[in-house]
Structure 1
Amino acid sequence: MNAAVETPTPTPTTEHATIRTRRRLVYIGGAGLGVLALLALAGYWFTTGRYLESTDDAYIRADWVALSSRVAGYVATVEVEDDQPVQAGAVLVRLQDRDYQARRDRARAVERQAQAAIDAAQAHRELAVQRIEQQAQATLKAEAAVHSASAERRRSQLDLQRYQGLVRDEAATTQRLEQALAAANQAKAVEQGAKAAWREQQAQQRMAKAGAAQAEADLQQRQAAFESASAERRLAEQDAQDTVLRAPVAGVVGQRRVRAGQYVAPGQPLLAVVPVAQAYVVANYKETQLARMRPGQPVQVQVDSFPGHAFKGHVASFSPASGNVFALLPSDNATGNFTKIVQRFPVRILLDLPANGPQILPGMSVVTTVDTRTSEPADAR
């Protein structure tokens, strides 16, 4: 006779113990995972996180140039379109240059006329110098004639005295004495004439020197006029060149307000050239975040327009003052109730953009994170 085997039925107490055991294991495992997560988070903060300074008060900037004309005139042609990339020195706008070309030609003619006047003044000065030399020789000749006449007068006086003695001694005739007297008077007159001629030549020499001084002054005046004409010619040429507006930097054309046929005045904004390739970031960090920041530290930049794409850069420089200092109406906390507000300082960050990466445009909002760990060795030293 086979005996039936009966399976024991689990009691409610055993089932509850099993459930409690499983729950305890789940709680312990969850607590262990939480502890591990906290340890990993603490390790990350201790090794990396505490050195990262981040802010979302940051934007892309570029030193764009507002282009305007230096001269007035009507626009002949506009060589570029909106949002067109241009290279440095590329022609952007041409003004009608007929008037400026005519002014340039007239200035060149005036300059040539002034140069001709200088040549004539130089010839006149050279002639005055030669006249001075000529008068110097004539003066020397007149002086020599005076010396000769003086010697002849002294000789005739000696002859007169000798014949007077001979006449007293009746060794010579009265006629001979009269001849000697006439010769003495004639020699005296010749000497006086020679002296007068000498003084006249000296006066002529002084006049020649005065003429040379006048010629030199006239030459200086002509040279000054030539320099003035040259300056006018350069200004006219510069004005003619300024009718062609060129791109000062490489970039992209924006804010194109100029049209062909439009009359423009000096200083009137016509268009802008934005150097997109030279874009940088200005991040406004709190003053409490600047303690360990140094130029050259690496920066991670996240652009709102490209989520999930991180760009690299480095700190370039710090503003010399907070944004409040440069504000149009800076706050004055010396009056009324005082509330301390943390100030922000602009930090310039240069981007290390890849060659074929997304195009970063000025004005985009970004989030920057500066890794300040490179400042620790310097602080330790």
Structure 2
Amino acid sequence: MTQTERNKSQLDEEEQREKRAKPEIASLGPGEREGSETMKSSIIHRHPLSILLVVLALVVLAVFGYFVWLVHFHPYESTDDAFVDARSFSVAAKVSGYIADVPVSDNKHLDMGSVIAKIDPRDYQIALDQAIGQIGVARAAVSSANAQIAAAGAAIDEARAQQASSAAALQYAKDENERQQELVKSGAGSEQAAQQAASTLRQGQASYAQSQAGVTSAVKNQASAEAQKASAIASLQQAEAQAEAARQNLDYTTITAAQPGRVVKLSGSRGQYIQAGQAIAMFVPEEVWVTANFKETQLADMRPGQPVDLTIDAYPDHVLKGKVDSVQPGSGTAFSLLPAENATGNYVKVTQRVPVKIVVDDWPKDIAIGPGMSVVPTVTVRPRS
């Protein structure tokens, strides 16, 4: 059998199958088929309202079916406007100096307390030694003031004892002067004895006044010594504060990691002079999450705690599990540097996006994940029926 005959045989078989599939149409002649089409057209013309109602019913049924599917069979919300986020910060020096050592490299993971860089500590060690010396001087001054206070107290006791002695001598001189004056008046005593008694009285008065002045001087000396002690104590506290500041500056020469994470964009190098506050690296903590900017129309059923499936664009084979942590109370533009001002005459409504924080249950350890990497989260906002 030739190829042409085989093709003709296949065409004949296809025509026979079509005739068997449509026996009624195939059995009709040309005039009958035209009559059938005319009959269908007349039915549409005779019952247009019924046909319209049927079409509307089909449309309503389709819309209803779509919403049923959306509510019961598609309980998800997803977005491609999402990325890995973290509270990255710059690592800066607190003191100035030359960098003596940088024991880390770029992108290295560090534990809390690990050394990132060291600044030459010699100048700060000298400052600490000087501050410690000032503490010794201040303590010596406090001890000297204590000794002066003790000596002033002893001087006060001595002056008061002398005052008591002079008071007794003065009282005796007064009594003796009175007796001699009475004897002179009665003619039983001599004028010389009366004069001597008066002179002794004046001497006693002078001695008593001198002892009073001595007591006053000793008390003032004690007050002066106490003031010197207070000044010495203040100097001691100042010296201790300076020593503490010097000790802290010495500690600041060693720059360490405040928490576990990775060092990126390391710019400090050995021998470089850096100023206080100058950044030498960026630090990315271990704690990272996903910030997903959902449309505000997707938030109706979104709540904290709902499960999330996440796919990172860089690693599409890794499907991560997480949950919604929180929804920002406001759109992203409301907290931007230049918030949108809608009180204008040419306002156009735009669907806003709201940041949603998503935490991941367990980040994979065998791949590098960091801030800025694109993520596609899918949130299960309603339980599947």
Report the TM-score range of the alignment, normalised by the length of the smaller protein: 0.7 to 0.9
Q: Which residue of 2 aligns with 1:177?
A: 189
Q: Which residue of 2 aligns with 1:337?
A: 346
Mind listing any 5+ residue stretches in structure 1 that lack a counterpart?
Answer: 1-10, 22-37, 165-175, 375-381
Q: Which residue of 1 aligns with 2:72?
A: 47
Q: Which residue of 1 aligns with 2:20?
A: 18
Alignment of 1:212-291 (within 5 A): 212-275=222-285, 277-291=286-300
Alignment partner of 1:70 is 2:72: no
The superposition leaves residues 117-136 of structure 1 with CA deviations (integer Å, 9 ceiling, x where unpaired) of 11111211222222222222
Tell me the distance in 1 between the aligned counterparts of 2:152 and 2:171: 28
| 2:161 aligned to which of 125, 137, 147 | 137
Alpha-carbon shift at residue 157 of structure 1 (Å): 3.0
Tell me the distance in 2 between the aligned counterparts of 1:223 and 1:291: 67
State the TM-score, normalizing by the size of structure 1: 0.79
Counterparts in 2 of 1:249 and 1:184: CA distance versus 1, 3 Å? same
The superposition leaves residues 39-88 of structure 1 with CA deviations (integer Å, 9 ceiling, x where unpaired) of 998765333524x3322211101122311111111111111111211111
Q: Is the 8 A contact 1:249 1:273 kept in 2?
A: no
State how many pairs are aligned: 333
The superposition leaves residues 218-241 of structure 1 with CA deviations (integer Å, 9 ceiling, x where unpaired) of 111112222221111111111111
After superposing the two structures, state which structure 1 stretch, 240-249 or 295-304, moved more: 295-304
Alpha-carbon shift at residue 138 of structure 1 (Å): 2.0
SS of the aligned residue for 2:335 comes to coil
SS of the aligned residue for 2:79 comes to strand
| 1:101 aligned to which of 116, 125, 131 | 125
Tell me the distance in 1 between the aligned counterparts of 2:344 and 2:70: 42
Alpha-carbon shift at residue 296 of structure 1 (Å): 2.5
Alignment of 1:132-171 (within 5 A): 132-161=156-185, 163-164=186-187
Alpha-carbon shift at residue 333 of structure 1 (Å): 1.9
Tell me the distance in 2 between the aligned counterparts of 1:156 and 1:209: 38
Q: Which residue of 2 aligns with 1:6?
A: none
What's the C-alpha RMSD, in Å, of the aligned pairs?
Answer: 2.8
Tell me the distance in 1 between the aligned counterparts of 2:353 and 2:143: 69
Tell me the distance in 2 between the aligned counterparts of 1:131 and 1:154: 34
Q: Which residue of 2 aligns with 1:190?
A: 200
State the TM-score, normalizing by the size of structure 2: 0.78
Tell me the distance in 1 between the aligned counterparts of 2:254 and 2:351: 50
Identity among equivalent pairs (%): 35
Kindly provide the amino acid, as one letter, of the partner of residue 138 in structure 2. A
Q: Which residue of 1 aligns with 2:116?
A: 92
Tell me the distance in 1 between the aligned counterparts of 2:122 and 2:149: 41
Q: Is the 8 A contact 1:67 1:269 kept in 2?
A: yes
Tell me the distance in 1 between the aligned counterparts of 2:381 and 2:215: 88
Kindly provide the amino acid, as one letter, of the partner of residue 285 in structure 1. F
Tell me the distance in 1 between the aligned counterparts of 2:297 and 2:126: 64
Kindly provide the amino acid, as one letter, of the partner of residue 70 in structure 2. W
Q: Which residue of 2 aligns with 1:59?
A: 83
Kindly provide the amino acid, as one letter, of the partner of residue 353 in structure 1. D
Mind listing any 5+ residue stretches in structure 2 that lack a counterpart?
Answer: 1-12, 24-62
Q: Which residue of 1 aligns with 2:56?
A: none
SS of the aligned residue for 2:382 comes to helix
Counterparts in 2 of 1:214 and 1:42: CA distance versus 1, 3 Å? same
Alpha-carbon shift at residue 353 of structure 1 (Å): 0.9
The superposition leaves residues 293-334 of structure 1 with CA deviations (integer Å, 9 ceiling, x where unpaired) of 333332222211221432122222333432212222222222
Alpha-carbon shift at residue 361 of structure 1 (Å): 2.0
Tell me the distance in 2 between the aligned counterparts of 1:373 and 1:253: 40
| 2:138 aligned to which of 96, 114, 117 | 114
Alpha-carbon shift at residue 279 of structure 1 (Å): 1.0
Counterparts in 2 of 1:78 and 1:357: CA distance versus 1, 3 Å? closer
Kindly provide the amino acid, as one letter, of the partner of residue 18 in structure 1. R
Q: Which residue of 2 aligns with 1:369?
A: 378
Tell me the distance in 2 between the aligned counterparts of 1:219 and 1:260: 48
Counterparts in 2 of 1:64 and 1:184: CA distance versus 1, 3 Å? same
| 2:218 aligned to which of 201, 204, 208 | 208
Alpha-carbon shift at residue 245 of structure 1 (Å): 0.8
Tell me the distance in 2 between the aligned counterparts of 1:287 and 1:12: 57
